[in-house]
């Protein structure tokens, strides 16, 4: 038995390669999912608690939350007069 290349040995080698690829693929998928979950959690946390992530107060954390706070838009007329036209 200098060259054990029987059906059992070939089957075991094929199963070993399949198992290696199967486990490696699952580790890749799980690692990728955990990375995305971590990034999303950080983004949600930065929006909910901006002072924990280096932002200013609650109003400055979400840009564009209101025209007065963000400074991007300025209201041209009162809210009440908008609905009376």
Per-domain residue ranges for the chain? 7-82
The pTM for the full model equals: 0.43
Q: Is the pLDDT of residue 3 over 80?
A: no
How would DSSP label each residue in 69-84? Answer: HH-S---SS-HHHHT-
H/E segment holding residue 70? helix 67-70
Q: Percent of the chain at pLDDT above 70?
A: 64
Nearest CA to 46 out of 38, 22, 23 is that of: 38
The whole-angstrom separation of Cα 83 and Cα 85 is 6
In this prediction, residues 32-39 reach a mean pLDDT of 92
In this prediction, residues 65-83 reach a mean pLDDT of 64
Which band of pLDDT confidence, cut at 50, 70 and 90, is reported for residue 57?
A: low
């Amino acid at each position: 038995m200098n060259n054990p290349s029987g059906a059992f040995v070939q089957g075991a080698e094929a199963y070993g390669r399949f198992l290696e690829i199967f486990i490696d693929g699952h580790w890749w998928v799980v690692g990728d999912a955990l990375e995305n979950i971590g990034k999303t959690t950080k983004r949600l946390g930065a929006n909910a608690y901006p002072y924990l992530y280096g932002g200013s107060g609650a109003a400055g954390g979400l840009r564009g939350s209101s025209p007065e706070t963000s400074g991007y838009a300025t209201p041209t007329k009162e809210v009440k007069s908008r609905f009376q036209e």
